Structure 1
Amino acid sequence: MNFIKRKTWQISENEVTSKELFDNRRTFLKLGAASLVASGSIIEALAKDQLPVQNLKFIKDNNPNNLVLNTYEQITSHNNFYEFTTNQSRVKDLAYTLNTNNWKIEVDGLIEKPVTLDFDDLVKKFALEERIYRFRCVEGWSMVVPWIGFELSKLIKYLKPLSSAKYIRFETLYDDDMFPDQARTVFGAIDYPYVEGLRIDEAMNELVIMAVGLYGSSMPKQNGAPIRLIVPWKYGFKSIKSIAKISFTNEQPLNTWQKENPKEYGFYANVNPKVDHPRWSQAKERVLGKFLKQNTLMFNGYEKEVAYLYKGMDLRKEF
């Protein structure tokens, strides 16, 4: 008998959302969307389950335990993207203003040669793969998402940072024609552009991906099109959206939420159920689509893969 060994970062079946939701997706995949997309059966499946047409070529997560995902509708209808609005349910209706054509990513700082990356070329350069990850928001909600992307470590190696680079800084696009809250200037919800950062050793961990899609399709605008960061063991605000600039530096970046409220947010933002937010407990979380809360896992369930990065650190102080 052959046994499929599950990767350590793959989640077990009892930690995800309802089986009924996944069965709908599995039915769709069996229909063969890639080759039969024009057929009536595919159109009917798309309409019924609100699934996107798959337009990305990627290595699938083998999903040996038939893991159940949050629905496409849930993932794309509950979004924090302050550049549009602080109303999570309205982001999808406002995100049409984001134009991702000819997207460029400026790269500078401590690297051999500053460069401007073309998004379309970048996607062709690295093989895409599916990663089914937990996603935990600092607000206390969570979901399970089938992201499509490539490991950030591969991009870092390609960019050839200098040995003096200790951190990597990310910046969301600043364009007040596309983002209505940016146009409000000093009256905006936060100070723009949105900034996040990681230590280089964190960024090189194999779990960290640059995501360009989900559910087999290009990244929806409300979820951070065309490219965003996914760091599954950290709270969601670390996974910066619509990245337009990457910088390598020897100084710890001041991330947006640390700048906005340093008493409540720090640089690391590792998921830690033992460290409460000053205004609420982090011990439990509510999965989108479920009524009852579940226990929050240390490092969002990825402790075996990342705990070594923080050996000797006081995780209460470094939130």
Structure 2
Amino acid sequence: MADDALLETFETHRPTLFGVAYRMLGRVTDAEDVVQEAWPRWSAADRTDVRDPRAYLVRVVTRLAIDRMREHAARRESYVGPWLPEPLPTDRAAPAAAPDGADRAVLADTVSYAVLLLMESLSPLERAVFVLREAFGLGYQEIAEALGRDQPAVRQLAVRARRHMAERRPRYQVDAQGQRALTERFLAAALDGDLETLLATLAADVTLLGDGGGSAKAPLREIQGTDKVSRFLAAIGPQAPAGGVPEFGEFNGIPGVHVVEPDGSAGVVLLEIADGLVHRVYLITNPAKLCHLTR
């Protein structure tokens, strides 16, 4: 296969490969690195035995991602504060990452913060099986080949992962209408320190998770309840730099605000909204998890 044809085949499948890697790793930069690492393996492979380039490339990326997950395990244990995935702009990224015939709603769900955080408690192999089966619809034989396992073992991994996710996944009935208006009202109230309006936007069971990674300001523990969450937001909102420009969008399938300053990204706030109220707030200020948004 000529070099141009090799590259064309690789680029055709790049969105799917990125989608697999991001769901497994939760980091855009790591997912991009893994996809790049797959290229020399593809270009140097003996393709006389490659019947399905997509299946071959997915297998390579899956194994590289599993290796990277294991490398990062020790680093996660010493991470400062909660660990959150890197926010992914799904209003433009999700369609490109979708394999042919994929259901966009399913893909958006498997890339949501709630699901990505739940997957953190799965083993690397369970996470790989869950991503390949639930997000990309691969058959058990394809997954078995990708992981170098037999089908019975893969089915067992799938059952364990699916049961774990089903037991813990939050059940929010999300209404897309009015999300932008509520997000804008929430942000304005936070920036103004308007405690009364903030309280009106929050559900009784609201929780807030922040990720500063020890490099930027963020709460080191989960904050729960309308009173504590609203007071925290009302306290930090007025401290936001005056030069920050809020950019509204969809990240990981939910509404969010990316605050951009002249020298780069200041942070991302994501909201899980149901029944006209905010149930979860994610605050990402770690600079290492924001650089891809301003590239």
Do they superpose with TM above 0.5?
no
The structure with the largest helix share of the pair is 2
The structure with the largest strand share of the pair is 1
> TM-score normalized by structure 1?
0.25
> TM-score normalized by structure 2?
0.27
Q: Which has the larger Rg?
A: 2
